[in-house]
Amino acid sequence: MTDASRRTSADDDALLERLRALARGAEGTDATRGHLPDQPFPPVTETEVEQVERDLGYGLPLLLRRVYTEVGDGGFGPENGLASLMPRRIPEWYQPDWPRATSPRTRYPEWGLPASWLFLTGGGCSMQWHVSLIAIDNPVLLWDADGWEPDWGENPHDGLCYAAPSLREWLWTWADGGNVWDEALKILSVG
């Protein structure tokens, strides 16, 4: 059992503090901004989160709500950085429109992504990280857009693997310097 899997909601304040430090590249975190914007985006308001939830038809997990309202609206985090809830532009950057958590559903309606999956970040090529808004503990899902074939009667779930049993564990893995791919690759190699 990893340290991340032992964390509970009682550890969320510590996780948010660690995420704040990593998001800002604070001294002693060994964080680099790399391919991310110079700074994370400012936090969103509760009103903005509530509007996104109304649009989605689902509430965000409390931990994710706190990340967006207390740490920042994306631009930091695992992989390519968390997607934003609000539209964000970085005109001088190579990708002027930062990915939005709701964009895969509206941008690629033919994918038929369930409304209960919220996009977290890209995983390279056709891979995407999502969080389930309805499953217990809000597992993180690794989804491959090329991993299913609708012409064969398959659906988006056929391109899916459960990458982490909870959003909390996935975020702690990253915050502790771990690789969020480790568990997903272990599952994929067994499957």
pLDDT along the chain (191 residues), means of 10: 78 96 68 64 96 95 98 91 90 74 73 85 84 96 75 69 91 92 65 48
Distance (Å, rounded) from C-alpha 81 to C-alpha 85?
13
Q: Which residues pair with 117 in a beta bridge?
A: 132
Predicted pLDDT of residue 131: 96
| Contact residues for 51 (Cβ-Cβ < 8 A; gap 6+) | none
CB 70 within 8 A of CB 100: no
Please give the helix or strand (H or E) that residue 132 lies within, else none.
strand 127-132
- Tell me how far CA of residue 51 lies from CA of 16, 48, 58, in angstroms: 23, 5, 11
Given this model, what pLDDT does residue 121 score?
A: 93
Token pair recorded at residue 148: 């299913």
Give the predicted TM-score (pTM) of the model. 0.84
How many Cβ atoms from other residues are within 10 Å of residue 119's Cβ?
A: 21
- Note the Cα 35 to chain centre separation in Å: 16
Q: Strand, coil or helix: what is 49? A: helix
**Structure-derived torsion over alpha carbons of residues 89, 91, 97, 99, reported in degrees to the nearest 10:** -70
Which secondary structure element, helix H or strand E, spans residue 107, and what is its range? helix 103-107
Please, are residues 117 and 132 in contact by the beta-carbon 8 Å criterion?
A: yes
